[in-house]
Each structure stands twice: as C-alpha cells, then as structure tokens.
Amino acid sequence: MKNVSRRGFIVAMSRSLLIAGLLPLQGGSRALAKEKKPSGIGLALGSGGASGLAHIVVLEALEELGLRPACIAGSSVGALIGGFIAAGHDSRSLRELVDEMVPADLGSWLGAVFKKDRVRLLDLFKLDIDAGGLIDQDAFRGFLEDRLKRERFEDLDIPLAVTATDFWERERVVFDSGPVIPPIMASTALPGIFPPVEYQGRLLVDGGILNPVPYDLVMDRAALTIAVDVTGTRKRLEDGKPGYIDLVFNTFDIMQSNMIESMRKKRDADIYLKPPLTGVRVLDFHRAQAIYEQAEPIKDELKRKIEALSLMSGD
C-alpha cells in the first residue's frame, strides 16, 4: 500500500468502493435488498462465545474505512452482536455495553454467577438449571428489550438474518422477519448455558451448531461478503487434561471448525477473517480488553483485503 495519510486512505478507499458498488449510499441500506443487482457489504458474524467480542474489532475497522454493512447475518454471539449493529449501535457503544454488563475485575465469569455480591451480573444472569441451562431466559429477554429497543426485524436500520437449530428436527432455522428478540435468544441458546427457546412450535438451540458462520445468507444479497470466524485456537494445558467446561465446549469448537472448512470448500466468502484468538474460553467475557487486543491485527488484514478487491475493480 502506498504511503498515504490515514484520512487520505479512507477517503480514497470509500470512493473506490462506492464506484464499485460496495459502499451503500447514506440511508440506502434497506433498499439494497430490493435491487436486482446486489450491492453493498454483507457481513456474517460467527459463533464462539466470548471470542465473539472480536466482532466489535471488525466493526471498528469498517468504521475507520467509512463503511457500513448493507445486510448482516449472525449465529449465536454473532446474532447477538449483529442485532445490536443492525439496531444502530456502533463499536464504541458496544464496548460500553460489554463494560457495563461484565466488569473487567470479574476474575471468573462462571464462578461469579454463584456469588451474591456481583449484583450487575446477577440482575442479568440468574441460575435456571431446571430449565436446561445456567441463564434465566426472562432476565436475558429483559436485557434485550431494554437495550435493543427494537421489537421486529422490520424496525432495524440494517436487514438482519439470524440462525437457530431445531432441536427435535435437527435442522437449521433462519429468521429475518417478525419479532426479533425470540430468534436472537434462540440463536444464542448454547446448550448447558442458556435454556432452549420454545418459539413458533419449535424447540430451538444455538445457531452455531449447524451454521457457525452464516455467510451463505448474505452472499446473494450483497456485492461483497465478509465472513468473520471467531472460533480461535486453544492452548494445550500443561497436564493435558481439560476440565468439564473446556472439554464440552472445545469439542463443540472442533465440530464447528470442521463445518466451516466444509462450507468454504463448497463456496467461500469474498473475504474470510479469523482473528488470531488463542486460549479464550467460552465464558471469558471478563477478558474483553485482552480479546480486543488479540483481535486487533485483523483490522489491517481486512483493510488490505478490501484494498486488493477495490484495485481489482479497476478504480
């Protein structure tokens, strides 16, 4: 890349992408879905528990380039963060939301669920083991209603699609219209942590089980597809013996990684990103700052890949 100023790079890149049809005009995001020829950026945010906080870093990179997704698809934590982005939240407000919800001095997120002195977490995460998970559905629903402030997919600023898994039928379910909060709750219903969600005659669990990075949902709706895989990698323990939580959820990660590899062989996204996350456990939300720092290199990678595509467009 030529040695240009940061502002000059962003202006030049934005102009190039606008010419290429990858940058939507202001206020035109929802209209993109109705055009015969897809344009704009389709952003797919994958599942991965606390690693999903890296999605916020990817959003920061797009903001630095002056870009905004034309449509979004998400699974699990990607559905949650994608929902907030679609509702108008930027990267700064998302970081503030995470800081408010999960204090950095938590120590152990799961352990804190059992401590009565962690009032903020207990207000949101109440034990509900009998229902099939640790997290109380009503508390989570209340949090979404209070912070999302949108009732239906049609009320969102950016078109959104989220995936869930039908527990009994063993099939993927996609939601992109009607009430938005139940589908997000269903998509994030990680077995053992969140209880299954009963909705529209189905028993629904985590969307990442069958579609970890749902870029297939935006490929035909956008000119450029960006897929963000936050499964990361795991550190080998000194004694080589994982505990119960690590054993269960690392096995889940192995399954997802294989599904993503299979998806990419069939049809890959235009830009596939995998932030260099190592040793982030599924409930490590208290390590938000460390996760942001690990994911930071993905910014330059995304900018290089977008620049390469813009140069290929002939501008």
Bridge partners (DSSP) listed for residue 73: 44, 161
| Active site annotation includes 206 | yes
72 SS3 class:
strand
| Active site annotation includes 177 | no
Task: Please tell me the distance from the alpha carbon of residue 99 to that of residue 127, in angstroms, as a whole number.
Answer: 22
Catalytic position from the list 76, 91, 187, 310: 76
| Joined tokens for residue 57 | 């870093």
- Region of 194 on the Ramachandran plot (φ > 0 left; ψ -120 to 50 alpha; else beta): beta
Catalytic position from the list 206, 229, 253, 284: 206
Task: Please tell me the distance from the alpha carbon of residue 278 to that of residue 142, in angstroms, as a whole number.
Answer: 32
Calculate the alpha carbon distances from 302 to 61, 118, 227 in Å: 7, 38, 11
Task: Please tell me the number of Cα atoms within 13 Å of 16 on its side-chain side.
Answer: 18
| Joined tokens for residue 69 | 């997704």
What is the gyration radius of the CA atoms in the chain, in angstroms? 19
Cα–chain center distance at 72: 9
Active site residues: 76, 206
